[in-house]
């Protein structure tokens, strides 16, 4: 597919600005497409299909020591790059549209905290945050950053070999390197340590889900930015919005599960479109 021309980009931005200006309390749902420009790869291609092996499941992580070891070996390598990621113009534009425009709440499927870093104040991290780790034994929560040193100490001289960045602070490394890895456990109770994110096969915590539902109740429109909505926990909000008769706009490169429900559907560059629309609305 050719890149959209400048004229198309301007047209997208003015259509979006027009749509935004017609609403006062917009519920926003964001996904991986919001963070790719920050150097965090997504899991899916433009057709909504997996471009890589599906991520770790809750069942594997808690039930299979090899999966647990594999997760931490890869996280050890992927974390520094993930931690360095900074918000891009999509995050900044959404923050401006929240502070000076019609966006009332951002519900994100991303686990990177970049909306908050960009200054968005009302954010629900639907799938949790990668910058915290929880002990499944005693429940103690620790910053992920403080664990990196423990991982180094547990694995002196360990070398992952050539590594490639993968989604959500993960990295592709050689299988032999995974086998040689010593994963961390809770220093207090020796329990399993899990990043504070919702794994595949696990439910979004009920209170978090209900808080997002409450916000949708108060909204007069819904905007999807950078998500194919292939995961049900995100798609259900688009369906609820549709059932309530709320106008739905979808900004995403490639197909989404809500295309048939969307009154406005834009495929151009997310960051440019949002930034230009914010400008047109005088929020930038």
Interatomic CA distance for residues 244 and 250, integer angstroms: 17
Q: Is 192 in the site for Zn ion (CB under 5 A)?
A: no
Distance from chain centroid for Cα 187: 29
CB atoms within 10 A of CB 198: 20
Of 164 and 189, the one with the shorter C-beta distance to Zn ion is 189
Q: Is 185 in the site for Zn ion (CB under 5 A)?
A: no
Q: Is 66 in the site for Zn ion (CB under 5 A)?
A: no
Per CB under 5 A, the list member of 191, 209, 236, 280 interacting with Zn ion is 191
Q: Could you say whether residue 188 binds Zn ion (CB under 5 A)?
A: yes
Question: What values do phi and psi take at 278, rounded to 5?
Answer: -60, -40
Please, what is the minimum distance in Å from the beta carbon of residue 193 to Zn ion? Answer: 8
- 127 part of the active site: yes
> Which helix (H) or strand (E) is 70 found in, with range?
helix 65-84
Query: Minimum distance between the CB of residue 113 and Zn ion, rounded to whole angstroms?
Result: 24
Partners of residue 197 on adjacent β-strands: 128
Return the residue matching tokens 């991303």.
110
Pick the catalytic residue: 115, 127, 179, 242? 127
Choice between 136 and 213, CB closer to Zn ion: 136
Short-list 99, 250, 74, 94, CA closest to 166: 74
Nearer to Zn ion, 146 or 159 (CB): 146
Nearer to Zn ion, 122 or 138 (CB): 138
Task: Candidates 189, 210, 213, 218: give the one binding Zn ion (CB under 5 A).
Answer: 189
Residue number with CB closer to Zn ion (99 or 136): 136
Q: Report the site for Zn ion in 101-160 (rule: CB under 5 A).
A: 135, 137-138
Q: Count CA atoms within 13 Å of residue 28 on its CB side.
A: 32
Tokens for 128, please give them: 């949790």
Whole-number minimum distance, CB 189 to Zn ion, in Å?
3
As a dihedral over the C-alpha atoms of residue 163, residue 165, residue 170, residue 171, rounded to 10 degrees, the angle is -10
Contact between residue 160 and residue 77 where contact means Cβ atoms under 8 Å apart = yes
Per-residue x/- track, 212-251, Zn ion (CB under 5 A): ----------------------------------------
Query: Could you list the active site residues?
Result: 127
Query: Which residues sit at the interface with Zn ion, rule CB under 5 A?
Result: 135, 137-138, 186, 188-189, 191
């Amino acid at each position: 597919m050719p890149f959209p021309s400048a004229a198309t980009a301007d047209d997208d931005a003015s259509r979006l600005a027009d749509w935004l200006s017609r609403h006062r309390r917009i519920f926003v749902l964001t996904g991986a497409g919001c963070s790719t420009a920050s150097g965090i790869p997504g899991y899916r291609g433009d057709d909504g299909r997996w471009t890589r092996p599906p991520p770790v499941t809750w069942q594997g992580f808690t039930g299979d020591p090899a999966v647990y070891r594999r997760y931490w070996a890869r996280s050890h390598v992927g974390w520094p790059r993930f931690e360095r990621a900074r918000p891009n113009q999509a995050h900044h534009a959404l923050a401006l549209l929240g502070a000076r425009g019609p966006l009332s709440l951002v519900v994100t499927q991303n686990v990177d905290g970049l909306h908050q870093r960009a200054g968005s104040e009302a954010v629900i991290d639907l799938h949790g945050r990668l910058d915290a780790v929880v002990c499944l034994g005693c429940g103690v929560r620790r910053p992920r950053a403080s664990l990196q040193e423990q991982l180094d100490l547990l694995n002196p001289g360990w070398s992952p070999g050539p590594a490639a960045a993968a989604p959500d602070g993960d990295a592709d490394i050689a299988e032999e390197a995974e086998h040689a890895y010593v994963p961390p456990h809770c220093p207090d109770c020796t329990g399993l340590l899990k990043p504070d994110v919702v794994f595949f096969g696990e439910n979004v915590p009920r209170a978090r889900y209900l808080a997002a539902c409450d916000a949708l109740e108060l909204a007069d429109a819904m905007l999807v930015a950078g998500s194919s909505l292939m995961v049900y926990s995100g798609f259900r909000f688009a369906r609820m919005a549709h059932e309530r008769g709320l106008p739905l706009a979808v900004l995403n490169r490639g197909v989404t599960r809500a295309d048939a429900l969307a009154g406005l559907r834009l495929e151009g560059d997310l960051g440019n479109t949002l930034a230009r629309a914010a400008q047109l609305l005088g929020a930038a």
